[in-house]
């Protein structure tokens, strides 16, 4: 196993708070498995100190860092360049330091699409329904648009509010109240259904978006980007109806693998990352007991 030395390159994740982050366990496992001379740490950064922190990481020669809540949008103004995915999503979750130039990426879109491809689901020419219009939804929507979805409907509680939030996606998506008949019609004609809301996430595991499964076509693929718990009420009900499903584990692993590849040029072993992630999740569910 590679140890930390004077040649070790530094990586990390910034956020506030950050103690809950699963990225260190996942990335450290991938780094060890690949025999890379890198170290990855979690770094708590308060919102008011973000500019100083970013400049500090640049000055210290960090090869790169992940960015999580609440800094994903604010960090963009502090970087030298952002890629097309990050620009369209309006958020950066991965920064690469190229000889002092900080380049922003958003690997959430890659992670989301890998979650589909691992299940043999293609997007091109398919109709999709996305539940929710928050930050996570933007990555999902851009992934579906980028891959050539034939039609995208966004289902939300408050359609007017969602239209304001997704103004820049207006030409590509239709936004509907999930209580209306038009939304039920969209479910009946769609191939992919994605939940991007926090409904059903631990600890409120009894919640789920209001989906009438009787209006959903049998062949639809159901994707919940939540990964705690591993099987939400939304997914349990979908499985009970005979739908194929997946959770957010593949998305989380996929975005992390893409980030590590951007930093190192090495494609990591995603199975190793997934094992480390699941072990860390299990430890959290058991109250910190291994």
Q: At residue 286, does pLDDT exceed 90?
A: no
Task: Give 204's contacts (C-beta < 8 A, 6+ positions apart).
Answer: none
> 61 pLDDT band (50/70/90 cuts)?
very high
Question: Among this protein's residues, is 72 annotated catalytic?
Answer: yes
Q: Quick one: what percent of the chain has pLDDT higher than 70?
A: 97
Of 125, 49, 109, 142, the C-alpha closest to 255 is 109
How large is the average pLDDT for residues 140-155?
Answer: 97
Q: Has residue 233 got a pLDDT over 60?
A: yes
Q: What is the pLDDT of residue 287?
A: 65
- Over residues 63-88, the pLDDT tens digits come to 999 999 999 999 999 999 999 999 99
pLDDT tens sequence across 180-232: 999 999 999 999 999 999 999 999 999 999 999 999 999 999 999 999 999 99
Could you say which of 72, 124, 161, 204 is catalytic? 72
Q: What average pLDDT does the segment 35-48 reach?
A: 98
Q: Convert the pLDDT of each residue in 2-24 to its tens digit.
A: 566 679 999 999 999 999 899 99
pLDDT(1) > 50: no
Give how far Cα 256 sits from Cα of 12, 26, 93, 210, 245, Å: 12, 8, 10, 31, 21
- DSSP class of 4: P
Q: Quick check: 192 and 223 in contact, CB under 8 A?
A: yes
Residue 289 pLDDT: 44
pLDDT over 90 (residue 129): yes
Residue 284: the pLDDT is 79
The superfamily in CATH containing domain 110-247 is: NAD(P)-binding Rossmann-like Domain (3.40.50.720)
110-247 matches 9-106+253-285 in CATH topology: yes
**What backbone torsions phi and psi does residue 188 show, to the nearest 5 degrees?**
-70, -15
Q: Give the DSSP H or E segment for 195.
A: strand 192-195
pLDDT confidence of residue 13: 98
Options 3.40.50.10860, 3.30.70.260, 1.10.3720.10, 3.20.20.80; CATH for 9-106+253-285 is 3.40.50.10860
The reported pLDDT for the residue numbered 195 is: 98
Q: What was the pLDDT predicted at 44?
A: 98
Q: Give me the residue spans of the domains in the chain.
A: 9-106+253-285, 110-247
Using pLDDT thresholds of 50, 70 and 90, give the confidence band for residue 288.
Answer: low
Rounded Cα distance between 186 and 179, Å, is 12
Peptide bond into 148 cis (omega under 30): no
């Amino acid at each position: 196993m590679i140890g930390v030395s004077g040649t070790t390159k530094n990586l990390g994740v910034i956020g506030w708070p950050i103690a809950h982050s699963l990225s260190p366990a996942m990335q450290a496992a991938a780094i060890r498995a690949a025999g890379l001379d890198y170290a990855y740490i979690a770094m708590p950064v308060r919102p008011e100190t973000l500019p100083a922190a970013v400049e500090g990481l640049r000055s210290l020669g960090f090869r790169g860092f992940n960015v999580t809540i609440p800094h994903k949008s604010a960090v963009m103004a502090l970087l030298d360049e952002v890629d097309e995915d990050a620009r369209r999503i309006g958020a950066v979750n991965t920064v690469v330091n190229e000889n002092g130039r900080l380049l922003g990426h958003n690997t959430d879109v890659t992670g989301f699409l890998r979650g589909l491809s691992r299940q043999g689901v293609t997007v091109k020419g398919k109709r999709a329904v996305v539940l929710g219009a928050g930050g996570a939804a933007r990555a999902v929507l851009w992934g579906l648009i980028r891959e050539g979805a034939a039609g995208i409907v966004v289902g939300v509680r408050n359609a007017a509010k969602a239209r304001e939030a997704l103004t820049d996606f207006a030409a590509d998506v239709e936004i509907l109240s999930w209580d209306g008949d038009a939304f039920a019609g969209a479910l009946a004609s769609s191939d992919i259904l994605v939940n991007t809301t926090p409904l059903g996430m631990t600890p409120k595991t009894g919640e789920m978006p209001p989906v009438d499964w009787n209006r959903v076509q049998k062949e639809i693929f159901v994707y919940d980007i939540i990964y705690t718990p591993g099987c939400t009420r939304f997914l349990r009900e979908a499985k009970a109806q005979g739908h194929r499903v997946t959770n957010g584990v593949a998305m989380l692993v996929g975005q992390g693998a893409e980030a590590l590849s951007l930093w190192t040029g090495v494609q990591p072993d995603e199975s190793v990352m997934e094992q480390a992630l699941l072990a860390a999740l299990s430890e959290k569910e058991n109250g910190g007991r291994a």
